[in-house]
Amino acid sequence: MLTLKQSRRLNTLVVGLFAWAVALLLFFPIFWMLLTSLKTEIDAFATPPQFIFTPTLENYLHIQDRSGYLKYAWNSVTISFGATALGMLIAIPAAYSMAFYETKRTKGTLLWMLSTKMLPPVGVLVPIYLLAKQFGLLDSRAVLIIIYTLINLPILVWMIYTYFKDIPRDILEAARMDGATLLQEMLRVLLPISKGGLASTMLLSLILCWNEAFWSLNLTSSNAAPLTALIASYSSPEGLFWAKLSAVSTLACAPILIFGWISQKQLVRGLSFGAVK
């Protein structure tokens, strides 16, 4: 028989091993992508796959030379941040009114908003394409900012709504008694209190915008194409170049991964700071 202490230790060990196994499994594709991006095209095709090879940066150089990585990256940045900023600007007041001035229809409205996410995007491709064409917005960053804002809005409103719901109404009423106008109440009390929640909402929105491919592929070609479109351009027209595809994918993931990693520390601090009670 194991003593209680021993069985606890064994438990920890099993759970630990399991966690490591899952983590490695999840990380492996990214690791393999990074590895492939450093191979020559010939090494990348080798069977069995090679773990030991002479690394090269030629794929990365090729991408900047041939397609101008930075232009695509800049498009991704402006579109993601633009859509996130615009989305927050709409979602915060919407969530505020739903969280603090709830009516009988609030729950229904929230569900209805979410239900729009259930529609397959391709179902509205033609009308949106035609609208974009009509307004002369094809291949513009503006059209992607508008579309991304709209498709992410339900998620932003839902998330912010749940964060706001956790804030005692009393605090806002206290601010009102103290003489705060609606704008002061939001800027000086509500937003600082919920900044942890707002930050994670923004991060999620950035990630969703950054990784969106369907609309960027269909509505842009060269001027406004973000990184997702750049990846796609490496997959078909010139045949499959595994090493270059891996390199461009790595370059596309890297900024948002690094950004997420840096802000993670801020986020954790922000979230624990948000504890009100």
Partner 1 sequence: MADLKIHNLKKGFDGNEIIKGIDLDIRDREFVVFVGPSGCGKSTLLRLIAGLEEVSSGRIELDGRDITDVSPAKRDLAMVFQTYALYPHMTVRKNMSFALDLAGADKQEVARKIEAAARTLELEPLLERKPRQLSGGQRQRVAIGRAIVRNPKVFLFDEPLSNLDAALRVQMRLELSRLHQELQATMIYVTHDQVEAMTLADKVVVLNGGRIEQVGSPMELYHHPANLFVAGFLGTPKMGFLKGRASRVEASGCEVELDAGCRLFLPVSGATLKAGDPVTLGIRPEHLNRGSEGNCQLTVKADVSERLGSDTYCHVVTGNGEQLTMRIRGDFTPRYGESLSLTLEAAHCHLFDSSGQAVGQPLQQVA
Q: Would you tell me which residues interact with partner 1 (CB under 8 A)?
A: 168, 170-171, 173-180, 184, 188-189, 192-193, 273, 275-277
- Amino acid identity of residue 194, one-letter, is S
**Measured from the CB atom, is 93 or 270 closer to partner 1?**
270
Give the position of tokens 């490591």: 20
In whole angstroms, how close is the CB of 182 to partner 1 at the nearest point?
11
Region label for 239, one of left (φ > 0), alpha (ψ between -120 and 50) or beta (otherwise): left
**Measured from the CB atom, is 117 or 169 closer to partner 1?**
169
In whole angstroms, how close is the CB of 202 to partner 1 at the nearest point?
18
**Measured from the CB atom, is 16 or 192 closer to partner 1?**
192
d(CA 104, CA 60): 56
In whole angstroms, how close is the CB of 203 to partner 1 at the nearest point?
20
In whole angstroms, how close is the CB of 190 to partner 1 at the nearest point?
10
In whole angstroms, how close is the CB of 266 to partner 1 at the nearest point?
15
d(CA 41, CA 238): 13
d(CA 38, CA 246): 9
Contact predicate 207/23, CB 8 Å: no
Contact predicate 56/39, CB 8 Å: yes
**Measured from the CB atom, is 49 or 108 closer to partner 1?**
108
Q: Which of 36, 31, 80, 29 is nearest to 60 (CA)?
A: 36
**Measured from the CB atom, is 10 or 276 closer to partner 1?**
276
In whole angstroms, how close is the CB of 28 to partner 1 at the nearest point?
42
In whole angstroms, how close is the CB of 178 to partner 1 at the nearest point?
4
**Measured from the CB atom, is 106 or 184 closer to partner 1?**
184
In whole angstroms, how close is the CB of 166 to partner 1 at the nearest point?
12
d(CA 191, CA 96): 10
**Measured from the CB atom, is 9 or 107 closer to partner 1?**
107
**Measured from the CB atom, is 134 or 272 closer to partner 1?**
272
